[in-house]
Structure 1
Amino acid sequence: MLQQKKSGYRKNFSLSVAFIALISILFILSLFLAFNYSKKSIENEFVSEKVNVLEESIKPYNEFFQNEMPEVSYYNGFLDSATASKFVDTITNKFPFIAKVMFYDSEVKNIPVRDGMNAGHFSIGPKSIFQFGRTVKPDSVKLFSEADTRSFKVDDDFNGMALKLVRFIDKLDTTSVPTQEQLFTNFSVVLSNKITYLNIPRPEDLKVYKDMLQRRLNPAPVYQQDMLVFQLDPNKIKIINTRPLLYETIRIEPLTYDPIDTSDENIATEIALPGAFSDFKLYFISSKSYIKKEIFIYFLPIALVLLLVYGVLLLVAFLIYRNLNINSKMFKLQYDFVNNLTHEFKTPVSVIKIAGNNIKSASVLSAKEQQLYGKILDEEADKLNGLMNKLLAFTQIENKAIKLNQEEVNINDFIESTIESHTLKHPDFEITHEVVGFKTFTTDPVLLGSLFDNLAENAYKYSNPGNKKLNISAKLIKGVLVFRFTDKGIGIPSSELNNIFKKFFRIQNEYNQMGSVGLGLAFCKELVNFMQGEITVKSKVGAGTEFKIVLPYNS
Structure 2
Amino acid sequence: MPAEKKSGYRKNFSLIFTFILMMTVLFGLSLLLAYRFSTKFIENQFVSEKVNVLEKSIKPYNDFFQKKLPEVSYYNGYLDSATASNFVDTLLMEYPFVSKVIFYDSEVKNTPVRDGLNTGRFSIGPKRIYQFGTLVPTDSVELFSKQNTKNFIVGDDFNALALKLATYIESLDTNRTPNQDELFSNFSNVRSNKITYLNIPRLEDLKMYKMMIRKELKPQPVYQQDMLSFHLDPYKIRILNSRPLLYQHIRIEPLTYDPLETGVAYMTTEITLPGPFSDYKLYFISAQSFINKEIFNYFLPLALGILAFYSIVVLLAYLIFRNLNINHKMFKLQYDFMNNLTHEFKTPVSVIKIAG
Report TM bin, short chain: over 0.9
SS at the partner of 2:345?
Answer: helix
**What does residue range 95-244 of structure 1 map to in structure 2 within 5 Å?**
95-148=95-148, 150=150, 152-244=152-244
The two structures have a TM-score, normalised by structure 1, of: 0.62
For 1:190 and 1:94, the matched residues in 2 are separated by: 20
CA shift, 1:154, in A, is: 1.6
The two structures have a TM-score, normalised by structure 2, of: 0.96
Which one-letter code corresponds to 1:84 in the other structure?
A
CA shift, 1:354, in A, is: 6.4
Alpha carbons of structure 1 residues 240 and 197: separation in structure 2 relative to 1, 3 Å: same
CA shift, 1:351, in A, is: 4.7
- Aligned partners of 2:4 and 2:10 also within 8 Å: no
CA shift, 1:197, in A, is: 0.4
Residue in structure 2 matched with residue 57 of structure 1 by the alignment:
57
- Aligned partners of 1:108 and 1:224 also within 8 Å: yes
Alpha carbons of structure 1 residues 241 and 151: separation in structure 2 relative to 1, 3 Å: closer
For 1:343 and 1:76, the matched residues in 2 are separated by: 120
Alpha carbons of structure 1 residues 304 and 149: separation in structure 2 relative to 1, 3 Å: closer
Alpha carbons of structure 1 residues 286 and 149: separation in structure 2 relative to 1, 3 Å: closer
Residue in structure 1 matched with residue 246 of structure 2 by the alignment:
246
CA shift, 1:60, in A, is: 0.5
Residue in structure 1 matched with residue 26 of structure 2 by the alignment:
26
SS at the partner of 1:127?
Answer: strand
- Aligned partners of 1:19 and 1:317 also within 8 Å: no
For 1:53 and 1:261, the matched residues in 2 are separated by: 21
For 1:149 and 1:257, the matched residues in 2 are separated by: 41
* Percentage identity across paired residues of the two chains: 65
- Aligned partners of 2:131 and 2:142 also within 8 Å: yes
Deviation by residue 1:168-219 (Cα, 9 ceiling, x = unmatched): 0000111111110000001111011000100111111100000011111111
Deviation by residue 1:369-389 (Cα, 9 ceiling, x = unmatched): xxxxxxxxxxxxxxxxxxxxx
Residue in structure 2 matched with residue 424 of structure 1 by the alignment:
none
For 1:152 and 1:337, the matched residues in 2 are separated by: 120
For 1:322 and 1:152, the matched residues in 2 are separated by: 98
Deviation by residue 1:121-165 (Cα, 9 ceiling, x = unmatched): 111111111000111111111111123264733211111111111
Which one-letter code corresponds to 2:97 in the other structure?
F
For 2:316 and 2:4, the matched residues in 1 are separated by: 27
Alpha carbons of structure 1 residues 172 and 205: separation in structure 2 relative to 1, 3 Å: same
CA shift, 1:277, in A, is: 0.2
For 1:152 and 1:194, the matched residues in 2 are separated by: 20
Alpha carbons of structure 1 residues 5 and 201: separation in structure 2 relative to 1, 3 Å: farther
CA shift, 1:21, in A, is: 1.1
Count of aligned pairs between the two proteins? 355
For 1:148 and 1:124, the matched residues in 2 are separated by: 18
Question: What runs of 5+ residues in structure 2 fail to find an aligned partner?
Answer: none
Instruction: Tell which has more relative contact order, 1 or 2 (C-alpha 8 A, sep 6+).
Output: 2
CA shift, 1:341, in A, is: 1.4
**What does residue range 104-503 of structure 1 map to in structure 2 within 5 Å?**
104-148=104-148, 150=150, 152-351=152-351, 358=356
SS at the partner of 1:282?
Answer: strand
For 1:5 and 1:256, the matched residues in 2 are separated by: 85
CA shift, 1:328, in A, is: 1.7
CA shift, 1:270, in A, is: 0.5
CA RMSD, 1 decimal: 1.8
For 2:149 and 2:300, the matched residues in 1 are separated by: 76
Residue in structure 2 matched with residue 90 of structure 1 by the alignment:
90
SS at the partner of 2:78?
Answer: coil
SS at the partner of 1:78?
Answer: coil
Alpha carbons of structure 1 residues 327 and 223: separation in structure 2 relative to 1, 3 Å: same
Question: What runs of 5+ residues in structure 1 fail to find an aligned partner?
Answer: 359-555
Which one-letter code corresponds to 2:17 in the other structure?
V
For 1:151 and 1:43, the matched residues in 2 are separated by: 56
- Greater alpha carbon shift after TM alignment, 337-346 vs 73-82: 337-346
For 2:99 and 2:211, the matched residues in 1 are separated by: 38
Deviation by residue 1:454-499 (Cα, 9 ceiling, x = unmatched): xxxxxxxxxxxxxxxxxxxxxxxxxxxxxxxxxxxxxxxxxxxxxx
Residue in structure 2 matched with residue 4 of structure 1 by the alignment:
5
CA shift, 1:85, in A, is: 0.7
Deviation by residue 1:98-123 (Cα, 9 ceiling, x = unmatched): 00000011011111112111111111
Which one-letter code corresponds to 2:263 in the other structure?
S
